[in-house]
Amino acid sequence: MRDFEQDQRLKCLTIEFLEDIIYSPNLLPAEHKAASQLLKLITKEESESSRVDLDKLLALPQTPCKESIETLSALEIAEQMTYVDHQIFVSIRSEEFLGQAWMKTDKATRAPHIILMTKRFNEVSQLVVSEIIRRSNMTARIHAIEKWAAVADISRCLHNFNGVLQVCAAFTNSSVFRLKKTWEKVSKTTKQTIEKLQTIVSSDGRFRNLRDALHRCDPPCIPYLGMYLTDLSFIEEGTPNFTEDGLLNFSKMRMIAHVIREIRHFQQTPYKIELIGKATDYLLDPSLLLDDDELYQMSLEIEPRTSRLSASTIQTLPSSLSLNDCFDKRTTMNLTPMLKRPICPSGAITGPVKERTLKKDYITLNRFINNVEMNKTSTSYQFPQLMMAIQTAVKCVAITLKKCGLAQMRSLGTSEQHFPSLDGRRLEQYLNEVFVNLVASTNTVSLIICKDSEDAIRVETTRSGKYIFAFSAADSQTRGSLEYSSSVGSTFAVYRKTDSTSAVGVDDKDALQAGKTMLCGGYVLYGYCTVMVLAFDGGSVNGFTLDHAVGEFMLTDPNIKIPTSAKLYSVNEGHTHSFDPSLVNFIEKIKVIKVGEIWSARYSGNLVGDCHRILKLGGIYMYPASKEYPNGKHRLLYECCPIAFVFKQAGGLAVNGKQYILDMIPQKFHEKTPFFCGSRDNIMQLMQAVGMTKQPSNETEAE
């Protein structure tokens, strides 16, 4: 690596070479593994070398911060909290965890970054309490509580469990917790969100739920450091350094190494978050922090005591949670008499180690992309970053759709100060903006095509990447679906640039590609649960369900295959008077009752919802041309093509009545087309009925 430090050009050439050969089909497995490890090592060294200066990052603002909780969005605050916490977290050296260095008198020199992490945790919690208490108006206090609840929820989605605990600790602070009248006015949904978050980070069972969430999520991640420090304290004080025979207790060393290894696992993967100065200045501004005595006095002025609490009532109140509580040696010593035998970090009594076989392999979307489909797909290291941004956008949209009816909720990252109303154009613009902002910030795409923008969104050259992203954040029926609380869907497609080796010179026409050239396509269905269905070029179709408890998409429907035929059709029969006569005859024919051939009809008006039903059960979906929509209603590039791509990989077909959808080359970004998709045999029957004889290209033919 020293050669690379002296010659950056050599490093760039090596990375380009590895990226070119790593996906070669002629590469032997051992060669592929070696190239992958080398690429990972080089990029890791590059990220570590670019680590920020903590002193500069945490320098106090020279002037009072002009931003406030009202002017900053929840997403901006959560991302910058995560950015700062992660920079401190990755700076902690392994030796700082040895010998309970954070409890010693010389802790400032032996464990400086652990102490800094502790200090930062308490400052953020104090900031949250101060921002709530300093607002004398109840409506403003409620807004502050709901805004910080949204920050904590987004932190959970970002796997920043340290940030979740910072906010939850503030909510249990006595100055905030006692505000009974204020809490009564907080919306039910916000209370449920807070309760869910507090359940995740609860210390019950030695952080049992938090440990489970950490083991099920993939990096990047910021765990709650106090949990690991408590583990190390138990090991240090509950397990002797030497055995009864006077030999070194290697069992203790292994337990300590196990804890440190888990911490290092989370330190190795960086976040792709850019520093936003205004938000960071707000989080670091010491003038916003009030001391505990002042806060409690202000709390009493806001809501005076009504009666004296009994001793039994006081015992039920949660105390303010501080990271220092986990470092207090007296607290740890009080627990040591309970240790009859040494305990391991997971809380189990040590003894003979038994292997445990998992009954089910929990596969997250991140793990699936990195370990499964990346072996089949000709992609670069940029692809996982793009997919991570897509799923983060989906999570934000899911949160928005869940809460958009609440009057006091605020935006998650756009210029809007309130959640968009249900009727709406504003909501569609908001959802598009969430996708565009998150995808464009990954430095992986050159062009973005979306329904809300007439022209292609061109990413600036210095931040452009190898891919083109086309999407519809909400399908064509969004407004009607929201007004009547129906399901909503998103569709998206990822294409390669025509010249993927060049970072410049991208043309808008590069986005006008046939669907068969797609690298990845899929859709998301938002309803009682959030389901994402993904298909990769040359791969299978898989369904993922969002686990709201840990903020991860889990693989729930592997290797989806559509039945070859089924007696189910989905079409708006109210418009049959304006359909082509041959199609009307086809519909009427399948409605004729025959023994054993009774068809069922299901139609909701939601493209993604109706197509998802057909994918799982089989049958045929139809949205033909009509007098009102002579070219159909659905957009070819980012609505029809992704769904057609999914159906093709699952063994189905998709046509427009004249040719195969994946063979069509769009002439403009928002071109519309009639759309038919479904089981292979059902589509073949339709093609015969409407007189379609054109055969698909080799790439389009369903496998």
Structure tokens at 427: 């909501």
Residues 6+ apart with CB under 8 A from 490: 394, 397, 431, 435, 471, 472, 473, 474, 475, 523, 524, 526, 608
Calculate mean pLDDT across residues 237-250: 84
In the predicted structure, residue 551 carries a pLDDT above the cut 90: no
Strands (DSSP E) contained in 633-699 are: 634-635, 653-655, 672-673, 675-678
Q: Return the pLDDT at 216.
A: 87
In the predicted structure, residue 63 carries a pLDDT above the cut 90: no
Highest CATH level, class, for 54-303 = mainly alpha
Mean of per-residue pLDDT scores for the chain: 80
Least confident of 399-403, 484-488, 609-613: 484-488
Question: Across the beta sheet with 600-601, what order do the strands follow?
Answer: 600-601, 568-570, 620-623, 675-678, 653-655
Percent of the chain surpassing pLDDT 70 = 79
| Domain boundary assignment for the chain | 2-49, 54-303, 373-557, 568-690
Calculate mean pLDDT across residues 189-214: 90
Structure tokens at 116: 């800094």
Percent of the chain surpassing pLDDT 90 = 34
Cα 401 to Cα 526: distance, rounded to the nearest angstrom: 8
Calculate mean pLDDT across residues 385-414: 70
Cα 576 to Cα 574: distance, rounded to the nearest angstrom: 6
CATH number of 373-557: 3.30.540.10
CATH of 568-690, one of 3.40.50.10860, 3.40.190.10, 3.40.190.80, 3.50.50.60: 3.40.190.80
Phi, psi of 525 (to 5 degrees): -115, 115
User: For strand 568-570 and strand 620-623, is the pairing parallel, antiparallel, or unpaired?
Assistant: parallel
In the chain the first and final C-alpha atoms are separated, in Å, by 46
Cα 534 to Cα 529: distance, rounded to the nearest angstrom: 16
In the predicted structure, residue 370 carries a pLDDT above the cut 50: yes
More confident residue, 331 or 159: 159
Q: Return the pLDDT at 491.
A: 94
Return the number of other C-beta atoms located less than 10 Å from residue 74's C-beta.
25
Instruction: Using the CB atoms, write b or e for 662-689: b if 16+ within 10 Å.
Output: bbbebeebebbbbbbbbbbbbbebbbeb
Least confident of 39-53, 84-98, 175-189, 229-243: 39-53
Least confident of 334-338, 451-455, 560-564: 334-338
What's the pLDDT tens digit per position in 577-588? Answer: 888 899 999 988
In the predicted structure, residue 481 carries a pLDDT above the cut 60: no
Topology alike, domains 373-557 and 568-690: no
Q: Return the pLDDT at 452.
A: 81
Q: Return the pLDDT at 338.
A: 34
Cα 154 to Cα 395: distance, rounded to the nearest angstrom: 9
Q: Return the pLDDT at 425.
A: 57
Cα 273 to Cα 83: distance, rounded to the nearest angstrom: 7
Read off the pLDDT band of 57 (50, 70, 90).
confident
What's the pLDDT tens digit per position in 567-578? Answer: 899 998 888 888
Half-sphere exposure of 144 (CA within 13 A, CB side): 21
In the predicted structure, residue 66 carries a pLDDT above the cut 90: no
In the predicted structure, residue 52 carries a pLDDT above the cut 90: no
Whether pTM > 0.75 for this model: the answer is: no
